Amino acid sequence: MPTVLSCEALEKRYGATVALGGVDLEVERGELLGLLGPNGAGKSTLTKIACGLVRATAGRAEIEGAPAGSAPARAAIGYLAELFRFPEWLTADELIALHQDLAGSDGGAAERGELLELVGLADARAVKVAAMSKGMQQRLGIAQALVGSPRLLMLDEPTSALDPVGRRVVRDLLRELRSRGVAVMLSSHLLSEVELVCDRVAILVAGQVVARGTPAELARPRGVEVETGDGVRSFPEARRDDVPRIVAELVSSGQQVYGVNLLASTLEDAYLEAVGAA
């Protein structure tokens, strides 16, 4: 898969404060990368450097081979900031039209209608931003980020103001985008959301990537539980390969075995371990 976003030894310092301390990261075409980390870990800074909003102190960030922030790089991305506002005097349709102009998209009314439909705002195209709830504005933000069919979508906490239905809409949308080959970098505190949709996860702590991999790779075995006639017996050090032996020993010792559970840590466990809060 071709690499859409590539960061190499990326550093950002604000005076004496190190926001990013040498980050290496890649996002491939059609990949959904979850960016996790506590507040101040550098997630937003990394995203902003990739968008060209913040200049890196050192290192390299490229979008499809073009330096982040350059015109070709900006033409390839869609972005929704964590803290954003849209002009309150614009309607949803007008806002998307403005971003079509800014992005050089010639999609016209058809693209506007499709995007608003995608985020569940088809009936709100004439509604002004001022009259929208925070959740509606967040969905509108996702729609504006999709203007011009970006190859890389960067979303910073895109579901923070959404209700469960809205989150499901966004999850389905992200899966749909992945199937179309769009790369997505999703920064979020909602671990369950990330676990549900992301192909890979990178955990940032104090400006460093401290863990990365698929959610399954980050999850670790936590032993085996066996349901017997005498109750549930735990084997914390056991792994999948140990199950036949454990069951055989229990049966040979006269125990009735009703079920076996392979225990694995969740992404939340892996995250807490990585950030040192477990």
Partner 1 sequence: MSGALIVARYALREAVRRRVILVVLVLTVGFLALYGLGTAVTFNEVNSLAADDQLDDRVLAGSTLLGLAMFTILFLGAVLGVFLTLGAVRGDAERGLLQPIVVRPVGRTSLLLGRYGGAAVVCAVYVAAVYVAAMVITGVAGDWWPDDPVGPGAGLVLGVLVIAALSLLGSVFLSSTANGIAVFMIFGAGLAAGLLGQIGDALAVQTLEDVATVSSWVLPFEALYQAGLHALTEETGGITGVIVQLGPFGGAQEAGAGLWLWALAYLGLVGAAARAAFARRDL
Q: How far is the CB of 84 from partner 1 (least distance, A)?
A: 4
Among 104, 164, 231, 259, which residue interacts with partner 1 (rule: CB under 8 A)?
104
Measured CA to CA, the distance from residue 25 to residue 212 in angstroms comes to 9
Among 86, 119, 142, 178, which residue interacts with partner 1 (rule: CB under 8 A)?
86
> How many positions of this chain bind partner 1 (CB under 8 A)?
28
Question: Smallest Cα–Cα separation from 147: which of 73, 75, 50?
Answer: 75
Q: How far is the CB of 118 from partner 1 (least distance, A)?
A: 18
State residue 201 phi and psi, 5-degree precision. Answer: -135, 140
Check if the beta carbon of residue 261 is closer than 8 Å to that of residue 234: no
DSSP state of 236: T
- How long is the chain? 278
Check if the beta carbon of residue 127 is closer than 8 Å to that of residue 154: no
Q: How far is the CB of 78 from partner 1 (least distance, A)?
A: 8
Q: Does 13 bind partner 1 (CB under 8 A)?
A: no
* Site mask for partner 1 (CB under 8 A), range 140-159, x = bound: -x--x---------------
Instruction: Using CB atoms within 10 Å of the CB of residue 201, give its burial: 0 to 12 exposed, 13 to 18 middle, 19+ buried.
Output: buried
> Hey, which residues between 43 and 82 contact partner 1 (CB under 8 A)?
48, 51-55, 71, 74-75, 77, 79-81
What residues make contact with partner 1 under the rule CB under 8 A? 48, 51-55, 71, 74-75, 77, 79-81, 83-87, 89-90, 98-99, 101-104, 141, 144
